[in-house]
């Protein structure tokens, strides 16, 4: 039986398996195979993204707005 060689050097995923070895699947551009995080999307690029109201940025904006409103209310009460 002949061994077929890849035209380009093949890089392996390298993620640790349960048995303690390394994953031998071919790696994608990010260095991991399709099973170990190759095509994961997040945020607006993800197909199930709906609104982003629970994102860290949105929650920080809400906290900033609440503190600004509290300061404004305190200033109005002092007047």
Length of the chain: 79
User: In the structure, what pLDDT confidence band is assigned to residue 2 with cuts at 50, 70 and 90?
Assistant: low
pTM to 2 decimals? 0.40
Per-residue model confidence (pLDDT) at position 38: 60
Pick the residue with more confidence: 49 or 6? Answer: 49
Tokens encoding 12: 């392996």
Q: What is the pLDDT of residues 15-60, one digit of tens each?
A: 888 888 888 888 888 788 888 876 667 777 877 777 878 888 999 9
Q: Look up tokens 């993620």; give the residue.
A: 15
Residue 22: strand pairing partners: 16
Q: How far apart are the first and last CA of the chain?
A: 91
DSSP of 19-73:
TSSB--SBP-TTSS-TTTTSS---GGGSTT----TTSHHHHHHHHHHHHHHHHHH
Is the pLDDT higher at 5 or at 15? 15
């Amino acid at each position: 039986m002949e061994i077929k060689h890849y035209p380009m050097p093949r890089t392996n995923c390298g993620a640790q398996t349960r048995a303690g070895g390394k994953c031998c699947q071919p790696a994608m551009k990010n260095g991991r195979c399709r099973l170990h995080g190759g095509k994961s999307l997040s945020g607006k690029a993800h197909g199930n993204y709906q609104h982003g109201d629970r994102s860290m940025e949105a929650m920080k904006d809400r906290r900033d707005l609440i503190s600004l409103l509290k300061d404004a209310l305190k200033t109005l009460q002092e007047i």
